[in-house]
Amino acid sequence: MKSMHTLPLISKYAAEQPRFTLLDSVANRISLIAFCSVFSFLFMYIFLPFNINIWYEGQHLALMPLFLIFTLCGVAVLSITQFLLANLKWRRKLTNATYGCWFLGEIILVALMVTIVNVSITDTFFFTWSEFINTLRYTALILPLPYCIALLWFFTREKIAQLKSLELAREQQPEPIVKTDDTCLLLRDEHDKPVLTLHPNKLLLMKAEDNYVQVFYLSGNTIAKELIRTSMKKMEACLPAGTFVRAHRSYMINLTKVVLFKKNAKGYYLQLEGIDDITVPVSATCLPTLQDRFAPVA
């Protein structure tokens, strides 16, 4: 039975993972080292974790310079890993998942450096495996917190910058051109809110009623009405000229829907298709326009 080759599958999986880029910037690496060093020093000096003050009783060094020395050990190790070793080819290929192994290596190196310095400047500590493991445990309890806070800060700042960039690009893009059907009419109210959309052939008549306009239109085979709070003047402005005209101060008609133009004892009037119960009066001002269009019945 042939053996299965899994290495290409692993390589392909790793290639699909996002590369770790938060520390590509030199400024981010300097900020990381500075924040971790200040945080670690203040944490040790203020809280004295693990009863560390008891360990060094009777030593010729006070706690503050001792903590400063340990902090400088961390600074030295992180400077090496973040600047000298960061140029390694395989380091630049680390993904978000595999960078944790790099960070674990940094913790081990910091613990090793602190152990070597600790046994060199004190008389009560010796370089043993047990001493190194203890220092490694304490380092692993202190260093990850500021390290992760710094990475979270970089990540948040990067996402905010990306969001601002997207918003700026969106603002600079031209407004999309919305194609509308020129054959349709959009009727709006006094607040410019759309109320009714219909084809011009469906609109028959508009009648002013105080602060409203009554719209008569065809809906299928029946006559429908829509009461819109607006003025006749505003309605007139959105209608195509030539097809819709004023017959009276209170009436606007669709000329293509006029079925009767006649004169009686009171004057001229119009009858519209499908609206038998409304007789539209024609005022003297609007009469010439309608006379040019229709030949009145004697």
Which residue ranges form the domains of the chain, and what is each CATH number?
Answer: 15-172 (no CATH), 185-293 (2.40.50.1020)
- C-alpha to C-alpha distance for 267 and 284, rounded to whole angstroms: 9
At 130, phi and psi to the nearest 5? -65, -40
**pLDDT score of 101:** 93
Whether the model clears a pTM of 0.85, i.e. scores above it, the answer is no
Residue ranges in the chain whose pLDDT is less than 50:
1-14, 176-181, 297-298
**pLDDT score of 54:** 83
* CB of 192 closer than 8 Å to CB of 263: no
Instruction: Report which secondary-structure segment, H or E, holds 203.
Output: strand 203-209
CA atoms 22, 25, 29, 31: torsion sign: negative
**pLDDT score of 213:** 92
